[in-house]
């Protein structure tokens, strides 16, 4: 069995398309992160100006302390929202890259099995056992990969639940501090 130039060209094209897909997903994530950071910096700057003006306008120490305390709540909420947005971008990017990797692995496995089947047709008698063993190893590897993906998905779900719980806790603490 020989590899034809068309097969090599097709494999190269698939590799380039796969690399471009990964690069595009990463670029999109970097773009989203840059937008988040730019927005956060702009908001921080605007808030700093407004907060400074408010603090300078305080008539006495008690008013100054009250203004300072009232400024903490929005700052905490914005920090929590920013963290949540960053986590969301990272989570979406991870999911997209995982889908691309899964598709690439599935294509590679299908191609390998196809090549193995073609090789088995031209193989000497008695090599069926070796071909079956290789196919069995591929099936076992795919099963292990699927199990790993399920565990990773469960870990991601747990992490997302923990982030949501932490966010609510911080918001609750900030509100309790504001009321006190």
DSSP for the chain reads: ----HHHHHHHHHHHHHHHHHHHHHHHHHHHHHHHHHHHHHHHHHHHHHHHHHHHHT-SSHHHHHHHHHHHHHHHHHHHHHHHHHHHHHHHHHHHHHHHHHHHHHHHHHHHHHHHHHHHHHHSPTTTHHHHHHHHHHHHHHHHHHHHHHHHHHHHHHHHHHHHHHHHHHHHHHHHHHHH-
Domain count, the chain: 1
Q: Give percent of the chain above pLDDT 90.
A: 30
Question: What's the domain range around 95?
Answer: 5-179
pLDDT at 180 over 60: no
pLDDT, tens digit, 9 for 90 and up, residues 66-111: 998 888 888 888 988 898 899 899 989 988 998 898 888 888 878 7
Stretch 20-45: mean pLDDT, rounded? 95
Check residues 89 and 113 and name the one with the higher pLDDT: 89
The pTM of the full predicted model, rounded to 2 decimals, is 0.67
């Amino acid at each position: 069995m020989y590899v034809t130039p068309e097969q090599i060209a097709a494999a190269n094209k698939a590799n380039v398309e796969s690399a471009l897909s990964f690069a595009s997903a990463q670029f999109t994530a970097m773009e989203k992160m840059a937008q988040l950071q730019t927005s956060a910096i702009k908001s921080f700057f605007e808030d700093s100006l407004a907060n400074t003006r408010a603090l300078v306008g305080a008539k006495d120490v008690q008013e100054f302390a009250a203004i300072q305390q009232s400024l903490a709540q929005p700052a905490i909420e914005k920090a929590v929202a920013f963290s949540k947005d960053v986590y969301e971008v990272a989570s979406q990017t991870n999911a997209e890259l995982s889908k691309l990797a899964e598709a690439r692995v599935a294509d590679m496995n299908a191609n390998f099995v196809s090549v193995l089947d073609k090789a088995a047709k031209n193989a000497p008698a008695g090599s069926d056992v070796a071909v079956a063993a290789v196919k069995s190893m591929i099936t076992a590897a795919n099963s292990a990969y699927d199990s790993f993906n399920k565990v990773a998905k469960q870990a991601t779900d747990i992490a997302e639940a923990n982030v949501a719980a932490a966010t609510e806790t911080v918001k609750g603490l900030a509100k309790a501090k504001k009321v006190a």
